[in-house]
Homo-oligomer: A and B are copies of this chain.
Amino acid sequence: MAAECLRTIAHPCRLRIIEILLKEERSVGELAEACGIPSNMASEHLRLLKDRGLLNSRRDGRKIYYWVAEPALAMIMNCVGKKFICKD
């Protein structure tokens, strides 16, 4: 259901994560720092996004890198962030 995926995206940390990952892949620790949250919370957000097929991940040594798996996210983020919807 579309509503479920929108809810998944609709969280400040997850929007920030998606925004970053649209540029390039990142590790959990990097994303956690960028969002100002502990890494276990970042991990939880990433799990939610990955469970819905929005992200993919790969391990490289001790780190795990995530990237955007769903191209539509770029369009959604373009709508959301660029000029639309509840700009402050």
Residues of A within 8 A of B (CB): 1-7, 9-12, 14-15, 52-53, 70, 72-73, 75-76, 79-81, 83-86, 88
CB < 8 Å: which of B3, B15, B53, B79 contacts A75?
A: B79
A84 to B15, CA, bound (A): 17
Contacts of A53 in B (CB 8 A): 86
Interface SS of chain A: helix
Number of identical protomers: 2
Nearest-CB distance from A69 to chain B (Å)? 11
A86, B1: Cβ atoms under 8 Å?
yes
Kindly state the separation between the CA atoms of A84 and B76 in the bound complex, as whole angstroms.
9
Chain B residues within 8 Å of A75, by CB: 79, 84
